[in-house]
Structure formats: C-alpha cells, structure tokens
Amino acid sequence: MHAVVIREFGAPAVLQPGTFPEPVERPGWVTVDIKAAALNWHDVLVRQGRYNSPLPHVIGADGAGVRRDTGEAVVIVPSLHWGERDDAPSPGWEILGDHIPGTYAELVSVPAECLAPKPAGFNWVQAAALPLVGLTTYRALFARGRLRAGESMLVVGAGGGIATMAVQLASHAGAAIIVTSSAADKIAHAVAEGASDGVLHTDPDWPEQARAMTPSGAGFDLVLDPVGRWTESIRALRPGGRLVVLGANAAETAPMDVRKFYFGQYDLLGTTMGNIRDFAGLLTLLDEHEVPPPVIDRVFPLDEAARAHEHLETTRGSGKTVLENP
C-alpha cells in the first residue's frame, strides 16, 4: 500500500512517500481506508525516536475513514489496550503509531473497539482532527479536572490543538475562560472561539495578571497546562484550585515550593489521552452542546507529510494540521 514511511529517526525530511505492507487480518481488528489523518505533537516525538518505534515504520495516531468490513464512516480512537480501569491505563497501553503502524497511509488496522461513528456534520478533515486532541482534552477537563459550569479556567498556551479544543469544549460547557499565549493574535483567536480574555506569558508576572481577571481576583478554579509551565501556572490558582498537567514541551522538570503547595490545598493532576469510554463522553458533549468541529489550521496532501511537520513545528497558526488522502 501507499504510505509515508520513516526508515530512520530525525527531522521532518525522514518522512518519505513509499510503499509499506498492507495490514494483515486478525480476529477483533478492523482495516480502515484512511480518508484523512491529523498531525499531533506526539507524532513529532515518534518521528524523532522517543518511543523506540520499529523501522521502517508508519507513524500517525489520528485518522478517519471507511471500515472495509461494513462500509461505515468512522473515526479512529488511537488509545490501544487501555484496560478496564478508568483512573489510569494498563501497563500495555500505547498510542496508535508508536509501535503499531499508524494513519499516514492508505490503510490502517485497529481493534474494533477503537472505532467510533464519524460525527454528523463533520467532513473527513474535521473528523480526523478530533480523536486524540478531543479525547485528551475531554479527559483533562472533565474526567480529571472535574470542570463544572460556572467555574473559571485558565488555558496555558493558546494556539495549540489541545488549548484550542479546551476553549471550545469548556466554553460550551459553561465555564469562564482566560488564556495565555506568546502572541496577541493567538489570544484574539481564542477569544473568537469562546475565551473572554488573555495575557501574554512572555510577561514575568503573567500568572498575577491572569488571576486579576478572575471574578473575585482570587485565582482560577482550574488551570490547564498542556505545555509544562506549571511552576508558574500554579501561581494563578485560587486556594484549593486544581492544576491539570498534560505536556512538557516548555519544560520537563519543575521546581516547586512544597510548603506553599500544601498550604494552598492545591490538587496537582496528571493526565494523558483517555479511553474509549471517555471518547463516548466527548461525543455526547459535542452533541448535547452543539460544539463545532475542531479548528483546522492547514491541510496538506498525504505525500507532503514532511512539509506538514515543518509547518507544525514552526507555525504561529491556531488549530490542527491535517493530511488528506487523494
């Protein structure tokens, strides 16, 4: 089959169009004709060799297409082997495209339970952009962060896929949202999606600026940090507030004043992408609150995956980057 194949780890240029063996049929697994595949930062890490993927390999977690066995239009939920517990995954959990060939191809094979109906009103590009970012954000906000209507929330790093989805979901669920960004245009875009205001996190006192925007001035009920700035992010919380961390692009370690933390009665919550049950909750939220499809930044042909990765790593845009099969 035609696919984008990596034969070595490295820069975007290692993503090369080529041929790759078609999926082998096995019980409980379904082959899907891929119509579109969305990019995630996780794909960059796989491409760089962070997950010890086999070579040659096809990366890609997100996708939407048509089941070969039934002809049904589906989205792929890339959370494999999660297990029965909802609070944390099993030791065998992995993301599609880590070790199992992913969605940058004509075909992909996944467990049948990792397929969900394509949402009504979504085109192929929008549907492909939903699973990883939507599932991860839903779990962070509602399963882990326990966000409720009427609460205040700060989203760190406006412009990325998680932050953009968080603004969409939380605003439609009735939360009041402030964002941070390194660029004023990204703040403006977040406001257009449902945030009320924002601050530049290039300013040293940005947590204090953000706190001042909360209704009482005491801080946020919930801070969502998908970039790893949580030494600073925690300063924006109200006493007893919740900090949800799900990324480490800005920093992989974080010093903390332990005494201030426990006297502040804070909750520090780690999270990742969720499971198929979380995805069912996401689809219900989308339907009940009429949440619009994910914001799309740019669409590339599948064979231009290298250019798409360059765009993902250097862009100032907001929303998702997607590959489209011809």
The SS3 assignment for 278 reads: helix
DSSP string, 95-136: ETTSSS--SSBSEEEEEGGGEEEPPTT--HHHHHHSHHHHHH
Q: Is pLDDT above 90 for 255?
A: no
What is the pairing mode between strands 220-225 and 237-245? parallel
- Residue 248 scores a pLDDT above 80: no
Instruction: Give 200 or 326, the one with higher predicted confidence.
Output: 200
Residue 77: pLDDT band by 50, 70, 90 thresholds? very high
Sorted by where each begins, the domain ranges of the chain are: 2-130+293-324, 135-270
**Same fold across 2-130+293-324 and 135-270:** yes
CA dist 285 and 279 (Å) reads 10
Q: How far is the C-alpha of 152 from the C-alpha of 237, rounded, in Å?
A: 10
Instruction: Give the pLDDT score at 315.
Output: 73
Question: In the CATH scheme, what architecture does the domain 135-270 have?
Answer: Alpha-Beta Complex (3.90)
**C-alpha–C-alpha distance, residues 300 and 311, integer Å:** 10
Please state the CATH superfamily assignment of the domain spanning residues 2-130+293-324 in this structure.
Answer: Medium-chain alcohol dehydrogenases, catalytic domain (3.90.180.10)
Tens of pLDDT along 288-317?
999 999 989 999 999 999 999 999 998 766
- Over residues 74-79, the mean pLDDT reads 97
- Which pair of tokens denotes residue 239? 């006493």
* Mean pLDDT score of the chain: 94
What's the average model confidence in pLDDT over 184-196?
92
* Residue 18: other Cβ atoms inside 10 A: 14
- Report CA 224 to chain centroid distance, whole Å: 13
What is the predicted pLDDT for the residue at 318? 74
Q: Nearest Cα to 221, choosing from 267, 180, 169, 271?
A: 267
- Stronger pLDDT, 119 or 252, i.e. the higher one: 119
Cα 171 vs. chain centroid, distance in angstroms? 17
Give pLDDT, residue 317. Answer: 66
